[in-house]
């Protein structure tokens, strides 16, 4: 994928930089861990520090000192999950800030406007997320509204087109295959630069998530990037790449790092475990990340138990590196047409 | 000063690495900010992670990935300020851990043993700190005990001598000049590698602290480093270097950074100030630290208001760089015999 801030090799995982920072990491550490693109949260940045501040820096890149590509979400998902009250109408979503209770309208046009102000390389259309489980009529109403909003987003995007930027549509339809198919077709007709699957990993059984993704991905245009939003565990990524997904974002590697959980090729480890008290080995033997090259499990455990700020950072560096390295291994396997071999090896390692 | 882990140019400030980490910073960031030597806290490290863990790494340097010199305090000051209960006897200090209430004896021999286990480059003698104000007899008793403990520390140090390590004695005597003089003389007679002034900046008026330091420093051997413990503000350092002090440590630059206070040559600024909301300037114009080279006051304020982990780190980098750069400016001024000119310029800048 080509963006105004560089080329992205897919499939790729995007570390989540909610508030203009991937929690605890510097941009240099993100690059060293292999980050090609990061995600910014429109809802959060719109409320804090606000578009007027970020526009003083001509966008998020300079504000946060990240020179690579940035994908921003539409803000919709956070409104549904964080705002105090929200009301969905044809015009858009009216909500109250979870910070100061102030009232705002997030319309398709506003979502594009904010993302333009953030200088986003990949803009996401405003969509309506539904909970799981949901009734058919609820899923259908939401996807139809999402389709109409997508058209309005596209118009707004084209009216204020920034060269190098891209606009992605979001497929909804809940856990109903025929609705997913209808949503994919309606969006494909509108011709976006890429397509996302929204409304997955919202509480449904894992098998159902895989079934919907496997069903829907081939329904999308073959020559456009396909992005599964908010997913997932390492094995989720392996399965979904197998189904043809190109892009992912998830807070798991960063959030779990701050809770002391480290991802390794042999599964996760909780660094608070007393077993690691005097363990001189790195978090993951053979790992090439900054943390594993310089620090032991004993030191990581000590920092975590003492609630030292460096703990969250060293753990995050490792987890982000783990995720990004996993994606790189998948890219290499795909390039050499050895994905199935890779997949088997991935699971064999996990069981060792 | 020559140590087993490198040469230190004085006068120097030592960032405080309480628990085997200068809070929020990596060793590489410390080096980039100009740190030549850091301080580790014996009390904290003895309790967490414990000497048995650190000895697995042959000391603190490898445990925390810091290759430069480390000075460790004796643990006495933290026992007095943090431990739940303590009792001072000739043998040493019995105390209860502030973490789990377990009982420990910190004797002069134990203090040296722990610091040897930490692989300290500069070991501090165990001393008795007294509060301010204190009666003469209290100050006299404490200094006499400190002198006897210093002799025991020296014996213990020599019995388990590690080449390249140094042992410093600590001058006590409260705010009584004749006691300070007696303490300095008694320690000088024992011939330590360096001497510290303890029991300053414990609540006394600033003028009194300066008076005692100015009086006591010339009473110490001229050819040995002189260290003022736990001090101080930037202007404290300028005054005390003027009096002949060579070494300092203080939590001010690191702790205040985490509270949003940034040191600059024109005084301090509180980054939470609404005035900085859309300020595109760096924290300190002309500052060469990583933070000022890459980030604006608006971004620093945003991170601080959002309680982002990166906030504490970027603020700490700036403050530590400020302190270390101030020391470097003083070294240069002393080298060129222009200290008084430097001092005047320092205060002139502060008033601008």
What value of ipTM does the predicted structure carry? Answer: 0.98
Burial class (CB in 10 A: 0-12, 13-18, 19+), A187: buried
Among the partner residues B20, B296, B302, nearest to A302 by beta-carbon distance? B20
Give the pLDDT band of residue A85 (cuts 50, 70, 90): confident
Q: What is the pLDDT of residue A352?
A: 81
The answer to whether the CB atoms of B309 and A313 lie below 8 A apart is yes
| A141 closest CA partner among A123, A127, A126 | A127
* Predicted structure pTM score: 0.98
> To probe the interface with A, which of B17, B20, B21 has the most A CB atoms within 10 Å?
B21
Q: What is the pLDDT of residue B352?
A: 80
What does the pLDDT look like over B98-128, one tens digit per residue?
999 999 999 999 999 999 999 999 999 999 9
**Per DSSP, what are the bridge partners of residue B12?**
B247
Chain A interface, Cβ < 8 Å to B: 19-21, 23-26, 48-49, 52-53, 56-57, 63-65, 277-278, 280, 294-296, 298-299, 301-303, 305-306, 308-310, 312-313
CA dist., res. B345 & res. A30, Å (int): 41
What does the pLDDT look like over A52-71, one tens digit per residue?
999 999 999 999 999 999 99
Q: Write out chain B in H/E/C secondary structure.
A: CEECCEECCCCEEECEECCCCCCCCCHHHHHHCCCCCEEECHHHHHHCCCHHHHHCCCCHHHHHCCCCCEEECCCHHHHHHHCCCEEECCCCEEEECCCCCCEEEECHHHHHHHHHHCCCCEEECCCCCCCCCCCHHHHHHHHHHHHHHHHHHHHHHHHCCCCCCEEEEEECCCCCHHHHHHHHHHHHHHCCCEEEECCCCCCCCHHHHHHHHHHHHHHCCCCCCEEECCECCHHHHHHHHHCCCCEEECCHHHHHHHCCEEEECCEEEECCCHHHCCCCCCCCCCCCCHHHHHCCHHHHHHHHHCCCHHHHHHHHHHHHHHHHHHHHHHHHHHHCCCHHHHHHHHHHHHHC
The shortest C-alpha distance from A83 to chain B (Å) reads: 16
Chain B interface, Cβ < 8 Å to A: 19-21, 23-26, 48-49, 52-53, 56-57, 63-65, 277-278, 280, 294-296, 298-299, 301-303, 305-306, 308-310, 312-313
Chain A residues with CB-CB distance to B117 below 8 A: none
| Catalytic annotation present for A121 | no
Chain B residues with CB-CB distance to A313 below 8 A: 24, 26, 309, 313
Q: What is the pLDDT of residue B237?
A: 98
> To probe the interface with B, which of A15, A49, A118 has the most B CB atoms within 10 Å?
A49
Chain A residues with CB-CB distance to B65 below 8 A: 294-295, 299
Summarize the confidence of residues A78-107 as an average pLDDT.
94
What does the pLDDT look like over B46-73, one tens digit per residue?
999 999 999 999 999 999 999 999 999 9
CA dist., res. B21 & res. A117, Å (int): 39
The shortest C-alpha distance from B17 to chain A (Å) reads: 11
Contacts 24+ apart (CB under 8 A), A161-164: A162/A4, A162/A116, A162/A119, A163/A4, A164/A3, A164/A4, A164/A5, A164/A121
- Token output for A339: 């994905």
Q: What is the pLDDT of residue B335?
A: 98
CA dist., res. A36 & res. A278, Å (int): 36
Q: What is the pLDDT of residue A190?
A: 98
In CATH, what number does A2-250 get? 3.20.20.105
What does the pLDDT look like over A151-172, one tens digit per residue?
999 999 999 999 999 999 999 9
What does the pLDDT look like over B158-187, one tens digit per residue?
999 999 999 999 999 999 999 999 999 999
Summarize the confidence of residues A23-33 as an average pLDDT.
98
The answer to whether the CB atoms of B65 and A294 lie below 8 A apart is yes
Q: What is the pLDDT of residue B70?
A: 98
Among the partner residues B25, B277, B309, nearest to A312 by beta-carbon distance? B309
- Determine phi and psi for B257, rounding to 5 degrees: -60, -45
| Catalytic annotation present for A191 | no
- Determine phi and psi for A168, rounding to 5 degrees: -110, 140
Q: Write out A109-139 in H/E/C secondary structure.
A: HHHHHHHHHCCCCEEECCCCCCCCCCCHHHH
Chain A residues with CB-CB distance to B302 below 8 A: 19-20, 48-49, 53
The answer to whether the CB atoms of B56 and A309 lie below 8 A apart is no
Give the pLDDT band of residue A351 (cuts 50, 70, 90): confident
Check A73, A127, A236, A246 and give the catalytic one: A73
CATH 3.20.20.105 in chain A, residue ranges: 2-250
Q: What is the pLDDT of residue A84?
A: 85
Give the pLDDT band of residue B270 (cuts 50, 70, 90): very high
Among the partner residues B23, B56, B306, nearest to A298 by beta-carbon distance? B56
Residues A99-118, buried b or exposed e (16+ Cβ, 10 A)? eeeeebebbbbbbbbbbbbb
Among the partner residues B24, B63, B278, nearest to A53 by beta-carbon distance? B278
Give the count of beta carbons closer than 10 Å to the beta carbon of residue A2: 11
Q: What is the DSSP string of A138-172?
A: HHHHHHHHHHHHHHHHHHHHHHT--TT-EEEEEE-
Residues with Cβ within 8 Å of B111's Cβ and at least 6 positions away in sequence, in order, are B42, B74, B75, B76, B124, B125, B126, B153
Among the partner residues B25, B48, B302, nearest to A305 by beta-carbon distance? B48
What does the pLDDT look like over B209-262, one tens digit per residue?
999 999 999 999 999 999 999 999 999 999 999 999 999 999 999 999 999 999
Chain A residues with CB-CB distance to B312 below 8 A: 309
Give the pLDDT band of residue A32 (cuts 50, 70, 90): very high
CA dist., res. A198 & res. A174, Å (int): 9
């Amino acid at each position: 994928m080509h963006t105004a801030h560089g080329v992205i090799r897919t499939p790729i995982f995007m570390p989540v930089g909610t508030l203009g920072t991937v929690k605890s990491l510097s941009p240099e550490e993100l690059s060293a861990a292999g980050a090609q693109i990061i995600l910014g949260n429109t809802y959060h940045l719109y409320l804090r520090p606000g578009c007027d501040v970020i526009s003083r820096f001509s966008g998020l890149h300079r504000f946060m000192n990240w020179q690579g590509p940035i994908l921003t979400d539409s803000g919709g998902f956070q409104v549904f999950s964080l705002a105090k009250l929200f009301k969905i109408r044809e015009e858009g979503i009216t909500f109250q800030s979870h910070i100061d209770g102030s009232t705002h309208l997030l319309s398709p046009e506003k979502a594009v406007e904010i993302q333009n102000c953030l200088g986003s390389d990949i803009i996401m259309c405003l969509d309506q997320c539904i909970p799981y489980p949901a009734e058919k009529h609820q899923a259908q109403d939401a996807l139809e509204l999402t389709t109409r909003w997508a058209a309005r987003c596209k118009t707004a995007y084209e009216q204020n087109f920034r060269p190098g930027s891209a606009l992605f549509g979001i497929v909804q339809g809940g856990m109903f295959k025929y609705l997913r198919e209808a949503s994919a077709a309606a969006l494909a007709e509108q011709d976006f630069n890429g397509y996302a699957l929204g409304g997955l990993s919202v509480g449904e059984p894992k098998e159902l998530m895989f079934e919907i993704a496997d069903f829907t991905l081939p329904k999308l245009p073959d020559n456009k990037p396909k992005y599964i939003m908010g997913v997932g565990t390492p094995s989720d990524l392996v399965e979904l790449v197998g189904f043809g997904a190109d892009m992912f974002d998830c807070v798991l590697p960063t959030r779990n790092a701050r809770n002391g959980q480290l991802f390794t090729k042999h599964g996760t480890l909780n660094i608070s475990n007393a077993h690691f008290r005097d363990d001189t080995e790195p978090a993951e033997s053979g790992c090439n990340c900054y943390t594993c090259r310089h620090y032991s499990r004993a030191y990581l455990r000590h920092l975590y138990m003492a609630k030292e700020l460096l703990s969250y950072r060293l753990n995050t560096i490792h987890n982000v590196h783990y995720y990004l390295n996993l994606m790189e291994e998948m890219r290499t396997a795909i390039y050499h047409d050895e994905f199935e071999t890779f997949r088997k090896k991935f699971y064999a390692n996990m069981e060792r």
